[in-house]
């Protein structure tokens, strides 16, 4: 069995257990924690995230994949501390989110790829913590030129290291198709590609087209409903069941894209976020899985989606 690097070192793939494939301990922006640390309530985030993950651990959660990147203010020390205090394994990421540093847009992907490789093979900053997944992002309107540079760099780092790729997309604009086209052009193994945020829309034609290409789908925004016009959690769950009925139980993963409300957001925003998802990392186990069972999913199906699929995808089986 392969081992997967996490914030606290390697974990056997077989021991990942119940896994949420796309989450965050806390997100900010590049450089803030060094230059304007007073903007970040680091102690508060550690305390709240630890509490939220402990609660989820008690209900069966064993692993989260934290796909925060450099430009999301990734703080490996904070993530490692939360992993240690909560008991939940946290897999961490290299790559970039939407705010690609401007100079990255001016260079060849071959300049960027070795930096991702270094974070996978040697570790991130001075922590020794190794990334086990490469995150890339594109959003409304499609892939911008700087985002294309890092997408190609991600493919090259993946080819060199074997690490899987996890994407952020905007599915109403079918952005996953554009990502797959570029990754294919780069020769990436589509069996090692996870197209994320694929449940912001209910277009089965788009989703089945991606699955037929051979990628995995992350139905990893729950409960949803924060963006007007996107599906609510019940519609998202119906889409999951329709993909299962179409024969893709072995190719989908569920997650929330959750992070704890930050003190710097102010009381009103924090309250709104708590109302939107009072269950945090437990929303899927408390609401979505029971609904899937009502719709006819078996315990075997649920084990496949929440345990076996993450083990196979992140473990590189």
Nearer to Zn ion, 131 or 297 (CB): 131
Should residue 200 be labelled a site residue for Zn ion when binding is judged by CB under 5 A? Answer: no
Binding mask 95-114 for Zn ion (x = CB under 5 A): --------------------
Residue 110 Cβ, how far from Zn ion at the closest point, in Å? Answer: 27
* Gap between the Cα atoms of 255 and 19, Å rounded: 8
Residue 256 Cβ, how far from Zn ion at the closest point, in Å? Answer: 9
* Gap between the Cα atoms of 272 and 45, Å rounded: 17
Residue 66 Cβ, how far from Zn ion at the closest point, in Å? Answer: 9
With CA atoms as reference, report the closest residue to 76 among 150, 36, 132: 132
* Gap between the Cα atoms of 230 and 288, Å rounded: 17
Q: Which stretch binds Zn ion (CB under 5 A): 58-66, 104-112, 200-208, 256-264?
A: 256-264
Residue 96 Cβ, how far from Zn ion at the closest point, in Å? Answer: 12
Nearer to Zn ion, 200 or 257 (CB): 257
Q: Which residue is nearest to Zn ion (CB)?
A: 257
Residue 34 Cβ, how far from Zn ion at the closest point, in Å? Answer: 22
Should residue 257 be labelled a site residue for Zn ion when binding is judged by CB under 5 A? Answer: yes
Nearer to Zn ion, 231 or 297 (CB): 231
Q: Which stretch binds Zn ion (CB under 5 A): 116-124, 237-245, 251-259, 287-295?
A: 251-259
User: Is the distance from CB of 282 to CB of 59 less than 8 angstroms?
Assistant: yes
Residue 257 Cβ, how far from Zn ion at the closest point, in Å? Answer: 4
Nearer to Zn ion, 197 or 244 (CB): 197
Residue 247 Cβ, how far from Zn ion at the closest point, in Å? Answer: 28
User: Is the distance from CB of 79 to CB of 90 less than 8 angstroms?
Assistant: yes
Q: Which stretch binds Zn ion (CB under 5 A): 110-118, 119-127, 139-147, 253-261?
A: 253-261
Nearer to Zn ion, 66 or 119 (CB): 66
**Helices 109-121 and 145-161, packing angle to 10 deg:** 50
Residue 218 Cβ, how far from Zn ion at the closest point, in Å? Answer: 10
Q: Determine the size of the site formed for Zn ion (CB under 5 A).
A: 1
Q: Which stretch binds Zn ion (CB under 5 A): 249-257, 262-270, 276-284, 300-308?
A: 249-257
* Gap between the Cα atoms of 21 and 15, Å rounded: 15
With CA atoms as reference, report the closest residue to 70 among 52, 91, 95: 95
Should residue 66 be labelled a site residue for Zn ion when binding is judged by CB under 5 A? Answer: no
Residues in touch with Zn ion (CB under 5 A): 257
């Amino acid at each position: 069995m392969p081992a997967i690097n996490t914030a606290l070192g390697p974990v056997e793939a077989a021991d990942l257990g119940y896994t949420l494939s796309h989450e965050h301990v806390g997100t900010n922006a590049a450089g803030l924690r060094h230059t304007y640390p007073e903007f970040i309530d680091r102690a508060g985030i550690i305390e709240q995230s630890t509490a939220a993950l402990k609660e989820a651990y008690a209900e069966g959660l064993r692993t989260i994949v934290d796909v925060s990147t450099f430009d999301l203010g990734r703080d490996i020390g904070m993530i490692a501390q939360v992993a240690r205090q909560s008991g939940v394994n946290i897999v961490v990421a290299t790559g970039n989110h939407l705010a690609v540093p401007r100079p990255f847009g001016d260079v060849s992907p071959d300049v960027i790829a070795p930096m991702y490789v270094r974070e996978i093979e040697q570790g991130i900053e001075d922590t020794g913590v190794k990334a086990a997944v490469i995150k890339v992002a594109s959003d409304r309107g499609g892939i911008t030129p700087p985002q294309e540079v890092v997408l190609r760099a991600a493919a090259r780092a993946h080819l060199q290291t074997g690490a899987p790729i996890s994407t952020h997309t905007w599915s109403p604009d079918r952005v996953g198709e554009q990502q797959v086209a570029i990754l294919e052009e780069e020769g990436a193994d589509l069996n090692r590609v996870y197209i994320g945020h694929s449940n912001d829309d209910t277009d089965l034609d788009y989703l089945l087209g991606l699955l037929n290409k051979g990628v995995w789908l992350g139905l990893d925004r729950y409960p949803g409903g924060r963006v007007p016009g996107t599906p609510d959690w019940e519609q998202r769950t119906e889409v999951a069941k329709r993909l299962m009925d179409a024969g893709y139980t072995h190719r989908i993963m569920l997650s929330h894209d959750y992070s704890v409300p930050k003190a710097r957001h102010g009381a009103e925003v924090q309250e709104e976020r708590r109302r939107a998802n009072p269950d945090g990392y437990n929303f899927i186990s408390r609401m979505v899985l029971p609904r899937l069972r009502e719709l006819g999913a078996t315990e075997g199906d649920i084990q496949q989606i929440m345990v076996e699929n993450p083990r196979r995808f992140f473990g590189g089986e």
